[in-house]
Amino acid sequence: MRLPSFRERKGVFILMWKYIIKRLLWMIPVLLGISIVIFTIMYFCPGDPAASILGNSATPAAIAEKRAEMGLDQPYMVRLLSYLNQVFLHFDLGDSYFQNQSVMSGILYRLPYTATIAFICILLQIVIGTPLGITAAVHQNGLADRICMVIALAGVSIPGFWLAMMLVLFFAVKLGWLPPYGVGGLQYFILPCVANAFAGIASQARQTRSSMLEVIRSDYIVTARAKGLSEREILYKHALPNALIPIITVVGNGMGMMLGGTVVIESVFSIPGIGMYTTSAINNRDYPIVMGGVLFLGALFSLIMLLVDVIYAYVDPRIKAQYEGQQKSWRRRKKANG
């Protein structure tokens, strides 16, 4: 087989970058849409931040004065345009109503906690979920398959909140091995990550099993067996790479789920991440934090999905070939046009 020339590789590289830039530009309307939706939800959401700041004994007159000072008495369109102007033209998520701090610095302070949880969870999802799925597929309808699928079923059925409390009662209260809440060393992340990752592990196992079963039945796997390749070689060299696309999709979606799931897990384990930051802001009707938090997570998720698409190109020869094909036709067109 002829290896691609440097010129061809460069062409594919340029096309990839074009694609990435195009996707990044597409993120602008996506984020604009998210901003408008979340702003509209918060606008129509009952509850008044001014009343929250002033407390229960505040009179309606005092609340009205505070609302005017905060600009909350402005019409919907005025406030929306002002917010979009602030976010998209000045790259400013605004300041919290309660904390003497910009929303961006609040998010960046909390990001490491959320990112740590999400990263460990996704790692657990891949490291545990994928082998579980492979084992289940290889031993389809056998004992191993049934055990793996029972675990997977439990994972998708058990609510993360309930599992978190059970883990706390067993490992923190009964055995005293792990801290029940808070932040500190790595040990503080074990229970939250296990609780948050369980559903992801289950989805990963189910998706891997399903993809592997589809691939295992393919003709080229039969051919590989007929060639006398070992089962291990067939599995890891021929079957798994071809089953990777749906698996990677689940990992990408899982990352989004993990980021979203931290909202609950961080509250249960009192971890001061973006999830807890946003939830407590919802209770206080601290609109800038809620909108900023959602927008930030939206942007992060869009980037992750872009990364997933780029990874597709590297793991799937068909997609790589598609880029190479585009490069060739582009060169042909260029040649034809002189």
* CA nearest neighbour of 244 among 303, 320, 144, 146: 320
Q: Is 209 in the site for other proteins (CB under 8 A)?
A: no
What's the closest the beta carbon of residue 168 comes to other proteins, in angstroms?
Answer: 6
The nearer residue to other proteins, 184 or 228, going by C-beta atoms, is: 184
How far apart CA 92 and CA 106 sit, in angstroms, is 12
The nearer residue to other proteins, 144 or 165, going by C-beta atoms, is: 165
Q: Is 186 in the site for other proteins (CB under 8 A)?
A: no
Q: Is 283 in the site for other proteins (CB under 8 A)?
A: yes
What's the closest the beta carbon of residue 76 comes to other proteins, in angstroms?
Answer: 17
Stretch that binds other proteins, among 141-149, 163-171, 193-201, 237-245 (CB under 8 A): 163-171
The DSSP element (H or E) to which 295 belongs, if any, is helix 287-315
Site for other proteins (CB under 8 A): how many residues? 53
What's the closest the beta carbon of residue 293 comes to other proteins, in angstroms?
Answer: 13
Stretch that binds other proteins, among 32-40, 78-86, 91-99, 120-128 (CB under 8 A): 91-99
Stretch that binds other proteins, among 115-123, 192-200, 217-225, 271-279 (CB under 8 A): 271-279
Residues within window 2-61 making contact with other proteins, judged by CB under 8 A = 46-48, 51-61
Q: Is 65 in the site for other proteins (CB under 8 A)?
A: yes
Torsion of the alpha carbons at 56, 61, 63 and 67, rounded to the nearest 10:
170
What's the closest the beta carbon of residue 60 comes to other proteins, in angstroms?
Answer: 4
Q: Is 338 in the site for other proteins (CB under 8 A)?
A: no
What's the closest the beta carbon of residue 69 comes to other proteins, in angstroms?
Answer: 5
What's the closest the beta carbon of residue 107 comes to other proteins, in angstroms?
Answer: 12
How far apart CA 130 and CA 121 sit, in angstroms, is 13
With beta carbons less than 8 A apart as the criterion, state whether 97 and 70 touch: yes
Structure-token pair, residue 263 = 């909202």
The nearer residue to other proteins, 119 or 181, going by C-beta atoms, is: 181
φ, ψ (nearest 5 deg) of residue 4: -65, 140
What's the closest the beta carbon of residue 120 comes to other proteins, in angstroms?
Answer: 18
Chain Cα centroid distance, residue 300: 7
Structure-token pair, residue 306 = 């872009």
What's the closest the beta carbon of residue 167 comes to other proteins, in angstroms?
Answer: 11
Degrees, nearest 5: CA angle 228-232-236: 115
Q: Is 75 in the site for other proteins (CB under 8 A)?
A: no
Structure-token pair, residue 292 = 């900023």
Degrees, nearest 5: CA angle 324-252-257: 165
What's the closest the beta carbon of residue 287 comes to other proteins, in angstroms?
Answer: 12
- What are the E-state strand segments in the chain? none
With beta carbons less than 8 A apart as the criterion, state whether 102 and 172 touch: no
Q: Is 267 in the site for other proteins (CB under 8 A)?
A: yes
Sequence-ordered list of residues with C-beta below 8 angstroms from that of 55, at least 6 positions apart, any chain: none
Q: Is 62 in the site for other proteins (CB under 8 A)?
A: yes
Among 20, 172, 299, 310, binds other proteins (CB under 8 A): 172
How far apart CA 292 and CA 274 sit, in angstroms, is 10
How far apart CA 28 and CA 279 sit, in angstroms, is 26
Residues forming contacts to other proteins in the complex (CB under 8 A) are 46-48, 51-62, 64-66, 69, 96-101, 106, 109-110, 165, 168-169, 172-173, 176, 179-183, 267-273, 276-277, 279-280, 283-285
